Amino acid sequence: MGMASSILSFLLVSALCLLSSPAPAVAQNLPPIVNGLSFTFYKSSCPKLESIVKDFLKKQFEKDIGLAAGLLRIHFHDCFVQGCDGSVLLDGSASGPSEQDAPPNLTLRPAAFQAINDLRALIDGQCGRVVSCADVVALAARDSVVLSGGPNYKVPLGRRDGVTFATRNATLASLPAPTFNVTQILPVLSRISLDADDLVALSGGHTIGRGHCSSFSNRLFPSRDPTMDQTFFNNLRIPARLPTPTRRRRWTSAARTCSTTSTMWI
Ligand code: HEM
Ligand SMILES: *[C@@H]1O[C@H](CO)[C@@H](O)[C@H](O)[C@H]1NC(C)=O
Ligand SMILES: *[C@@H]1O[C@H](CO)[C@@H](O)[C@H](O)[C@H]1NC(C)=O
Ligand SMILES: CC(=O)N[C@H]1CO[C@H](CO)[C@@H](O)[C@@H]1O
């Protein structure tokens, strides 16, 4: 898609909505949108939608700001696997394991799924069942960015929920692996018309959140991956922001490997 813009906000809207044929922006400060989406989609059917979402999340984030990272990542996983269709929320069934059951999901936060369910109930209560889950996920991701200090952006609405979840294989094929380098990530992105500029902007999503040790331990143990910055490496080994008991439990291992339960802020 060749987006030249380097701001995360713009790309989150365009990239994560999987634009295939960008239409001209409706106003100067609005990104292009695909047919079917609109900035006024629920104007009459659920006029307070955006404030319901923001007010709810504001309260939740006071209790746990980590939830913001969880919600942002759910939007990414939803959109990269068969489009922004809410399918990441679907449970597996007799036909096979769902997206949630594919390995990359193992680290999606249950609290974030819970927050989407709670929001859904709140919205249904006020407006009836008119708002798609995919739109709720998209709005929650935007407010997660904004409420944790990131840029604001407008979210076009009108996504339809998919009725089928992606298979384990499709999920694996659509999400770049933690071990991928840029050369390997770019072809995965190009399948959904995203390029290197988009990758740089979207990587800004990692400004918040955590990674489990197992996601990057291959670059720490048995010794530093030579392509990893030394200061960054040192900082990862001394997770100062974690409470001391957690730190001790995790990093005193003589073998210097991850314990199975270890997590780390990134
Ligand atoms: C393009 C390739 C990407 C790769 C390879 C990747 C990889 C990862 C990995 C390995 C983690 C840590 C998971 C864990 O150990 O728990 C993570 C976390 C995260 N990712 Fe990505 N990611 C990518 C793109 C994105 C995008 C596009 C966004 C959103 C704009 C995003 C948002 C996040 C967030 C917010 C977290 C923290 C989640 C939490 O704290 O619960 N990532 N990512
Ligand atoms: C999933 O991918 C694996 C490895 O590529 C392959 O062996 C398997 O047959 C695939 N399963 C399905 C259901 O397509
Ligand atoms: C990325 O990884 C692939 C597969 O391991 C390797 O062939 C390639 O040279 C790597 N590219 C860079 C830039 O390191
Ligand atoms: C948050 C969530 O739904 N996680 C699921 C991911 O996959 C595992 C393994 O199948 C499930 O047990 C989790 O419930």
pLDDT > 90 in the chain, percent? 48
Atom of ligand 3 nearest to the CA of 227: 14
Average pLDDT (183-204) is 95
Average pLDDT over residues 221-233: 85
Give residue 89 CA to ligand 4 midpoint distance, Å. 11
Instruction: Specify whether the CB–CB gap between 74 and 105 falls below 8 A.
Output: no
Lining residues, ligand 3, CB within 6 Å: 181, 183-184
Ligand number nearest CA of 96 is 2
Q: In which residue are the tokens 């439990």 written?
A: 249
* Average model confidence (pLDDT) across the chain: 78
Q: Which of 75, 77, 206, 212 is catalytic?
A: 77
Residues whose CB falls within 8 Å of the CB of residue 186, separated by 6 or more in sequence, listed in order: 195, 196, 199
CA 264 to ligand 1 centroid distance, Å: 13
* Residue 8 vs residue 232, higher pLDDT: 232
pLDDT at 198 over 50: yes
Helix (H) or strand (E) holding 265: strand 263-265
pLDDT digits (tens, 9 = 90+) for 11-61: 343 333 333 344 444 445 677 888 999 999 999 999 999 999 999 999 999
The whole-number average pLDDT for the span 203-212 is: 87
- Among 37-46, 90-99, 143-152, 156-165, the range scoring the smallest mean pLDDT is 90-99
Atom nearest to 204 CA in ligand 1 = 30
82 to each of 77, 112, 171, 219, 264, how far by Cα in Å? Answer: 10, 20, 8, 31, 30
Helix extents (H) in 131-252:
133-147, 168-174, 182-190, 196-203, 213-216, 230-237, 244-251
77 is catalytic: yes
Residue 246 has pLDDT above 90, yes or no: no
What is the pTM (predicted TM-score) of this model? 0.81
Q: Whose CA is nearest to atom 7 of ligand 4?
A: 101
- CB burial class (10 A; 0-12, 13-18, 19+) of residue 128? exposed
